[in-house]
């Protein structure tokens, strides 16, 4: 006769006894919440590092840029000159302002004003009315005025720091 095994009988859960061999399902909601929290913390830390951290300076670039200096201007007295004849006698009455590099240039131009005016009178009186009547002709005249005034006043001195000419009055009659 067969004898019963000694010891405690094995307890089998009901699900296993029913033949269901899959382990109980865990909730994925908890896993998603944990991943979301980790991503949120990482994004917040990265954003704070970007906005508050030291930004590396580019090589060769100044750490701080100075604000641009205000422009310095020299208003010239009006010029009235006879133009080269084309169809009778015509004259030019022009007034303009020079843009210079700094106050030192203003003083230098004022010191040499007779030379500056003489150079400009010779330049202006060499023009024909047809050369000056178009916008292109006026722009060319501006460039020529800059070139004329930039010429050194003495053989040893450097060129003047003139960067622009702005017409304030321009009449051909």
| Cα–Cα dist 73/106, whole Å | 8
Task: Give the pLDDT confidence score for residue 6 in this predicted structure.
Answer: 60
**Which conformational region is residue 112 in: left (phi greater than 0), alpha (psi within -120 to 50 degrees), or beta?**
alpha
Contact 78, 69 (CB under 8 A): no
- Report the number of distinct structural domains present in the chain: 1
Which domain does 167 fall in, by range? 72-172
Long-range contacts of 81-85 (CB under 8 A, 24+ apart): 81/121, 81/124, 81/125, 82/125, 83/125, 83/127, 83/128, 83/129, 83/132, 83/172, 84/125, 84/126, 84/127, 84/128
Residue 120 lies in a domain: yes
Residue 14 lies in a domain: no
Question: pTM for this structure?
Answer: 0.62
Residue 125 lies in a domain: yes
Percent of the chain with pLDDT over 70: 74
pLDDT > 60? residue 15: no
Residue 126 lies in a domain: yes
Q: What is the mean pLDDT of the chain?
A: 83
Task: Give the pLDDT confidence score for residue 74 in this predicted structure.
Answer: 96
Q: Tell me the per-residue pLDDT of 125-169, one tens digit each, with 9 for 90 and over.
A: 999 999 999 999 999 999 999 999 999 999 999 999 999 999 999
Q: Using the structure block, give the residue that is written with the tokens 């010779």.
A: 122
Residue 91 lies in a domain: yes
Task: Give the pLDDT confidence score for residue 33 in this predicted structure.
Answer: 75
End-to-end CA distance of the chain: 144
Residue 46 lies in a domain: no
Q: Tell me the per-residue pLDDT of 66-89, one tens digit each, with 9 for 90 and over.
A: 888 899 999 999 999 999 998 889
* Sign of the CA dihedral running 149, 154, 159, 161: negative
User: Between 51 and 33, where is the model more confident?
Assistant: 33
CATH number for the domain that contains residue 139: 3.30.479
């Amino acid at each position: 006769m067969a004898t019963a095994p000694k010891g405690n009988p094995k307890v089998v859960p009901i699900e296993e006894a029913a033949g269901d061999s899959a382990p109980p399902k865990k909730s994925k909601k908890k896993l998603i919440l944990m991943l979301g929290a980790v991503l949120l913390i990482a994004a917040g830390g990265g954003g704070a590092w970007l906005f508050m951290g030291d930004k590396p300076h580019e090589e060769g670039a100044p750490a701080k840029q100075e604000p641009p200096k205000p422009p310095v201007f020299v208003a010239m007295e009006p010029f009235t000159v006879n133009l080269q004849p084309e169809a009778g006698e015509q004259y030019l009455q022009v007034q303009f302002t020079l843009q210079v590099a700094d106050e030192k240039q203003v003083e230098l131009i004022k010191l040499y004003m007779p030379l500056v005016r003489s150079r400009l009178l010779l330049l202006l009186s060499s023009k024909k009315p047809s050369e000056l009547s178009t916008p292109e002709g006026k722009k060319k005249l501006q460039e020529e005025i800059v070139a004329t005034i930039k010429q050194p006043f003495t053989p040893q001195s450097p060129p003047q720091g003139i960067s622009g000419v702005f017409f304030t009055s321009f009449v051909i009659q």
